[in-house]
Structure 1
Amino acid sequence: MTLEKERYERRAQETGTRLLPENDARLLQALETNDIVSYYDESASGERLLTSLAPIKTSQDCRECHSSKKTRGVIQLSTSLSAIDESLATSRKNSLLALIATIIVTALIAGQLLRRWARGPLEHLTGAMRNISQGDLEQSVKVVGQDEFGEMARIFNVMSTEIRMTHAGLRREQDKLTTIILGAEEGIIVTDGAGKVVLVNPAAERQLGKTAFHIIRAGFRELFDDAAEMDRWLRQNGTEPIVKLFNGRLFQVYVSTIQDASTAMIGTAALPRDVTEEKRLEEELRRLSTTDALTSLYNRRHMEYVLTTEHSRSARTKAPFAVLMLDIDHFKKFNDTYGHEQGDRVLQAVAKTFRDSLRKYDTACRYGGEEFIGILPQTNLDGGMAVAERLRSEVENLVVDGLKVTISIGVSAYPETGIESVDQLIHEADTALYR
């Protein structure tokens, strides 16, 4: 039995509405490939759409009524993606919130773990640094591991060792300086740049008779109770020592302004030294070097100096001066009779009478043995003779331990006698003495 093919009634007229232009690339692609073409598009309202172009393939049965083209047409199917987009946005939001929450939780856990891991080393390091800042330099921390904390611990230990060594060196130098300042016999008073007294050593207190508190309170300018004089000393700026009599003591004082490399004043200093005893010893030494030990008259060395000085002055000014030479009569016999100790007492008594009989600017000297010489400036021959006669009479009236003694005196004068040299003057007086 033969089956008849199904027939479809043809339309009398076909009408259509064009949805896509004939030259649409995606339409042409669907027709050409006979495969579904999908793409994203937007509606007039801006809604995102997924559009698919599905070709209607021409089957064998369809070709009897239709053309022989392999594609009879294209079905356009557009689907709104609004629901899908909203779902995706919600999913992204939820995923982002979950990610943020995960990060926060992870950070908290990591921070807690980090604190537990780092807290101990950091506390030890911080504590050691705090102790160093408070003056305890014997600090070190344990080095654990080769990480950053271990490196920090090693660097800290090196630093603390260097600080200890530097501090020990500074302490030694400070001890030396303190020993020098406290042990110095000279006073030391120092100010800062503002003029405030910042250092007073014990020698300064002792020498000036003031406490450090009093010196600091009164100020540097009142160190010797004379501010104007101190200002004048400061202007001299230590160019030479200053001799100052203060509280019955003689001081040699150095006063100077201390400047830095840029000549800015950073302080002042005064170094007073009590030279009272030194000057006394100096005067005593000078006296001993120019004075006869037994009679306390000037010795022969000083006599020669004064004679030379007076001769030069007289030659220059034409002013006269006289020379007296006196000798104790028969002194050798006196010594032999009464002994040398008694003779020494006679020498001392005659020397005192001799010195007391002269003016304050005359010079009484022991020439040697029992011989004495007097040098009388501004005195001519007659004046010298008058002094000699008065002295002879005073010695004649002198009684030493119940004994009497007499002297002989010779006088010469310059320039009356025409003698030009000092030696000739002495020789002339000696010759006159024996006459």
Structure 2
Amino acid sequence: MQQSSDIALTQLVEGNPVATIVIDANHRVTHWNRACAALTGVPAAEMIGRSEQWRAFYDSARPLLADLVVDGVAEAAIDHYYHGKFSRSALGEDSYEAEDFFPAFGDGGRWLFFTAAALRNAKGEVVGAIETLQDVTERWRAESALRNKEVYLAQIVDGSPVPTMVIGAQHRVTHWNRACEALTGMLAKDVIGTDDHWKSFYGTKRPLLADLIIDQTGEKSIDRLYHGRFRASSLIPGAYEAEDFFPHVGEGGRWLFFTAAPLRNAEGEVIGAIETLQDVSGRRRAEEALRDSEERYRLLSQTDSLTGLYNSRHLQEQLPAEIGRVRRYARPLALLVLDCDRFKSVNDRYGHLGGDRVLQNLAHSITQCLRSSDVAFRYGGEEFVVMLPETDAPSALAIAERLRLLFGSLKTVAPSGEAVQCTVSIGVAVCRPEDEEWSLIRRADEACYRAKQGGRNRVVLADSGS
């Protein structure tokens, strides 16, 4: 019966495609199968019946894992030979597995994964041990190549002058380069491995563009957070770019241009995302300064420098549009032409500085009487025009009368210290369907002339006969 059992074990071991060694309680080799001979280059005939199995693996005598199992040594002894490379096997109490590099094997050495388990008799006594060995060199090379690739990628990301971060499928940071540290003030060691990257950009937790790409939430979700400030990338499918202001970045906030793109595995599945950020605050400030400058230039080109009212050029631009609105919608429009009475004598007596102060006071009076829809212009010299949309004749006369009384009550202090009190004559014209800008101004101007001819300091309605 024992002989039959031995034959069965021999057949089982020999037929196993995995390299297998069996030793007895005295550490003598009882089985050394063909797969083991092929792996080690040592034939079974040189090993069976001997306890020098170490020669196939090491340059000097030392126990194999199976030898340590036969001796029933403590894990501390196993650790002495396989420090950091072994673990207890889940297959049995007396089983261990390890992985190590054997430089003498093959061309350039081999990585082997090996397991050893105790063999027991019917009484439970250890009568030997079986060890299996598998060549895992190709797996190690692939893993090493992957590690090298990851190190290479990390060096590329870290060496990039563009702030860059990478997050995995679970939204945890895997890369946070030095440029990103400089931009955000957060060190890589404090953020890598966490999902706290939002803290560098926002006061409360919310997803970054890279998070939205990982979740593949679609443009609606992106639009909800970056409405009007993002667009799909024209370079990378599934990538987006945006520009926004981040009040929590840097001192006083920063404008950032940022792009986020998916990272995919060989099957095309999204396994992470990379986001780059560029500080464009300088460009934005320059653009804002340019816009402010253009706005100032536009206002200067439309504004009279002495009074602050719009100039005659702007009147020529605005009045045709208002007359067009009157024709389209049949809405009323009135025009006032004002002329400061006896202004030449003011200039002669108080000088041009005194005259300028009187004109400034008149402009101030006009502004005080304007409604939000009304627009005033310095038409030339001491003459002013006020455009009154949505205003009929009675309303226009009431506004003109209020303006006349207000200015007549004001006193202007001349450079000499004397008080100057002036009046104004006002002509009022209501736009007719056939009016052009020149005809409307002419009728209001003629009404102003009649006001002067009638004694000054009065309001006259065009075509009224008074």
Q: TM-score range by the shorter chain?
A: 0.3 to 0.5
> If the length of structure 2 is used for normalisation, what is the TM-score?
0.44
Structure with greater proportional helix content = 1
> If the length of structure 1 is used for normalisation, what is the TM-score?
0.47
- If you compute each CA radius of gyration, which structure gives the higher value, 1 or 2? 1
